[in-house]
Chain A
Amino acid sequence: MRKEISKDILQKLFTTMLTIRTVEERVAELYSEQEMKCPVHLCTGQEAIAAGVCSHLAKDDTIFSTHRSHGHCIAKGMDLKPLVAELYGRTTGCARGKGGSMHLVAPELGIPGTTAIVGGCIPLAVGAALSSVLQGKRGQVSVAFFGDGAVDEGTFYESMNFASLKGLPVVFVCENNNYATNSPQSARQPAVPIVDRAPAYGIPGVAADGNDVLAVHRAAGEAIERARNGAGPTLLEFRTYRWKGHVGPTSDIESGCRPADEHEEWLRRCPLDRFKAYLREKDLLSQHDMNHVTVEVERLVNDAIEFGKKGPFPDAAELYDHVW
């Protein structure tokens, strides 16, 4: 039986998705100014997964993510100001400009960092889960966000094996957007659903529509509940699509990286429009409330951009700080 989702949660999901969308669109828009001097891997089109999963997480739950992590960090509660300032390479950034877009961090919010090595974050999340067990922090969970590309990596299998062996409270969230840079899944993996790898390790694998935030919310809720209750890890696979190219603010369709009709088809499956339509149709969030949220989100994003742009650059001497 499906539990009713409260209005508060629905509004939170909507706000989070809209915030991620707005940040990514503004980054894409401002990128040509060449003031954000770092590669950006945008998650436009994939917002429902970050929002749906993180809506179940508390502050002391941990997430580990990838080079495409803006959405996850925002959904986990990261302040937009240090996030954006980091893209601008300022000392007001979350890593004082040392990390850039691919290495966002907010340890006090359960974001110990993000890694740009594909598959690297998966065992780190398992380690955080092991940490909470060894520290006796019952009910605390850890989430690994990664793409279908990471499923090619050995760490994916090694992590599932160990997490299952020890029954660790970790949830593996695979955002399957069908591409590792420009290589389609079919060129890299046999035609076996990613979730079907999970039973081989004795853990449940659940697939759901990654562009349906309610489906994500439901599947993630069950997996996170299992983990909290000590029932061990779950592998979730959410099918989705990134609207932009692998890296940078533009679509890669013109350069022939992906088929135009495929891209158009996925634009029609916009997770945000779909959720908006649902909220309106079910009369769960009025147009007035949506407008209000939209104005508020835009204000926050604009403030963050202003904050990011005006922050001081690090002194060159900072180069030598933080090695240890």
Chain B
Amino acid sequence: MPWTKIQADEAGRPGIFGASAGTARELSYRDAIKEALAQALERDKRVFLIGEGIDDPGGVFGTTVGLKEKFGRDRVMDMPIAENGLTGVVNGAAMTGMHPVMIHMRVDFLPMAMDQMVNHAAKWSYMTAGRVKVPVTFRAIVGRGWGSAAQHSQSLQSLFAHIPGIQVLMPASPYDAKGMLLSSIAGDRPTLIIEHRWLYDQTEAVPEDPYFVPSGKALVRRPGKDITIVATSYMVYEAMRAAAELEKADISAEVIDLRSIQPLDGNAIIDSVKKTGRLIAADMGWKLCGVSAEVAAIAAEHAHDKLKAPVRRITLPATPTPASNVLEKAYYPTFEDIVRTAKEMIGNV
């Protein structure tokens, strides 16, 4: 598919978190995911992967390539296009001793599985007073660009994050992609990991040995003192680029990578806003009832007296995703929107 390459190149801003020190091994986001899956399969017999076309030559944008050959069809399984039924199957397997990983090429297919994710996976521990856990991991990928349009590009984290009982993680970096996937697979909570297609070529130092990145912890990607930018997934990159631009205008921006939407690290937001007094929430989703609304609400509830300016939000416009390249460009916010907004807030336009 041409668009994957083209858009990755367009996006191509590798090493945004800084080059790794010394001889540390670098991995792409894609290979970090693949390594996590391979290590989980290697180390834990309870783990199996299932998803539409995960064993085909493309291997979910390269993240599952070669795994079927190495671990066999029983553990790297193609599946019928029956998202809800098969989510029920992995839930049932998880309730009876397995740790399945279900992979969706697009986040847009998750609404098909909403009943089993929301009514079953997310509820089971509570309904059974913790007697039966559902240790299932869902991977789903946000598409973007090349006219992906309304049903192949959605970023539905807030739909799922609303529901108690299911973790929603959005790793932005290769290191987090591997560590969050491994901790989710090894853990006993149902977890949705939302990836962004444009992150797959990003690289950074990734340890070879398995390691775990916990949920519920945001990360300061860049310290600053004038304004806080809380961002999710791909928007972290836009935020980092915006921070670099703002620096040229003598504005020191702190970038927080939220990483975990449910549970949410409210303290990281509050601590930063108390320091900077200004907040931009930059999410890949829509504004209404979205993650950006939650971030703004946390600041309003817990750091209101420290705010020097109203909270601003960088989100998608309230429309479905258009196909035409011109409309697409108008649709997605970029670092420039963040820069302009920050300058408006600080009065340095």
Chain A residues near B (Cβ < 8 Å): 62, 64, 94-99, 103, 105, 107, 112-113, 115, 117, 120, 122-132, 134-135, 142, 154-155, 157-159, 161-162, 165, 321-324
Please state if A103 and B88 are interface contacts (CB–CB under 8 Å): no
Q: Which residues of B contact A161 (CB under 8 A)?
A: 80, 82, 85
Contact B124 A126 (CB under 8 A): no
**B128 surroundings in chain A (CB, below 8 A):** 95, 98-99, 103, 105, 107, 112-113, 322
Residue B203 lies at the interface, judged by CB distance under 8 Å to chain A: no
Contact at B131–A321, with CB atoms within 8 Å? no
* Contacting pair B126 A323 (CB below 8 A): yes
- A107 / chain B contacts, CB cutoff of 8 Å: 128, 131-132
Residue B91 at the chain A interface, CB threshold 8 Å: yes
B12 at the binding interface (Cβ < 8 Å): no
Are B89 and A127 in contact, with the CB atoms below 8 A? yes
Q: Most chain-B CB neighbours within 10 Å: which of A115, A125, A321?
A: A115
Name the distance in Å between B269's Cβ and chain A's nearest Cβ.
21
B residues lining the A interface (CB < 8 Å)? 45, 48, 74-75, 79-80, 82, 84-98, 115-116, 119-120, 124-132, 164-165, 188-189
**B96 & A62 in contact (Cβ 8 Å cutoff):** yes
Please, which residue of chain B has its CB at the minimum distance from the CB of A86?
Answer: B129
Are B93's CB and A131's CB within 8 A?
yes
Whether B119 and A117, one on each chain, are in contact in the complex, defined by CB atoms closer than 8 angstroms, is yes
Q: Is the CB of A130 within 8 A of B82?
A: no
10 inter-chain pairs at a CB distance below 8 angstroms, sorted by A residue, are A95-B131, A105-B127, A105-B132, A112-B95, A125-B92, A127-B88, A131-B93, A134-B98, A155-B88, A324-B188
**B88 lies within 8 A of A323 (CB):** no
Tell me whether B85 and A113 are in contact (CB under 8 A): no
Q: Are B125 and A322 in contact (CB under 8 A)?
A: yes
CB distance from B110 to the nearest CB of A (A): 16
Contact of A131 among B86, B98, B129 (CB under 8 A): B98
A158 nearest CB neighbor, chain B only:
B85
A29 to chain B, nearest CB (A): 27
Supplied contacts A99-B127, A154-B85, 15 more A-B pairs, CB within 8 Å: A64-B92, A95-B127, A103-B128, A105-B128, A113-B95, A113-B132, A117-B119, A120-B116, A124-B95, A131-B93, A131-B98, A135-B97, A161-B82, A162-B86, A322-B125
Bound: A127/B131 CA distance, A? 18
CB distance from A195 to the nearest CB of B (A): 20
The A-B contact count (CB < 8 A) is 142
In contact, B129 and A128 (Cβ under 8 angstroms): no
Assuming the contacts A99-B129, A324-B165, A324-B189, asked whether A126 and B92 have C-beta atoms less than 8 A apart, the reply is: yes
* B89 A123 Cβ-Cβ under 8 A: yes
Determine whether the beta carbon of B85 is less than 8 Å from that of A324: no
Q: Is the CB of A162 within 8 A of B92?
A: no
Instruction: Give the most central of B45, B48, B91: most A CB within 10 Å.
Output: B91
Say how far A123's CB is from chain B's closest CB, in angstroms: 3
Task: List the B side residues contacting A128 at CB < 8 Å.
Answer: 92-93, 95-96
8 smallest beta-carbon distances between A and B, as pairs: A127-B92, A123-B88, A158-B85, A124-B92, A158-B82, A322-B130, A127-B93, A96-B129
Contacts of B87 in A (CB 8 A): 123
Q: Could you tell me if B126 and A162 are in contact, using CB atoms closer than 8 angstroms?
A: no
The residues of A that contact B125 with a CB separation of less than 8 Å are 322-324
Question: A94 to B127, alpha carbons, bound, how many Å?
Answer: 10
A96–B129 alpha-carbon span in the complex (Å): 6
Cα distance A137–B282 in the bound complex, in angstroms: 49
> How far, in whole Å, are A62 and B132 apart by their CA atoms in the complex?
13
Q: Which residues of A contact B93 (CB under 8 A)?
A: 127-128, 130-131, 134
B120 touches A162 (CB 8 A): no
Judge whether B131 and A132 touch: CB under 8 Å. no
* Chain A residues within an 8 Å CB radius of B45: 135
Contact, CB under 8 Å: B80 / A112: no
Q: Do A162 and B116 touch across chains, with their CB atoms under 8 A apart?
A: no
CA distance A159 to B91 in the complex (A): 13
- Across the interface, name the chain A residue whose C-beta is closest to B136: A127
- B167–chain A nearest beta-carbon distance, Å: 8
Min Cβ gap B118→A in Å is 10
The reply to whether A127 and B96 form a contact with Cβ atoms under 8 Å apart is: yes
CA–CA, A122 and B120, complex, Å? 12
Which A residues lie within 8 Å of B130 (CB)? 321-322
- Please, how many angstroms separate the alpha-carbon atoms of A293 and B131 in the complex? 32
Query: Across the interface, do B86 and A123 meet the contact criterion of CB distance under 8 Å?
Result: yes
Query: A98 and B126: CB pair below 8 A?
Result: yes
Residues of A near B94 (CB, < 8 A) are: 127
A103, chain B: closest CB distance, angstroms: 4
A124 touches B88 (CB 8 A): yes
Question: Closest CB-CB distance, B161 to chain A, in whole Å?
Answer: 14
Quote the shortest CB–CB distance from A76 to chain B (angstroms): 14
Contacts of A322 in B (CB 8 A): 125-126, 128-130
- Closest CB in chain B relative to A242 CB, distance in Å: 23
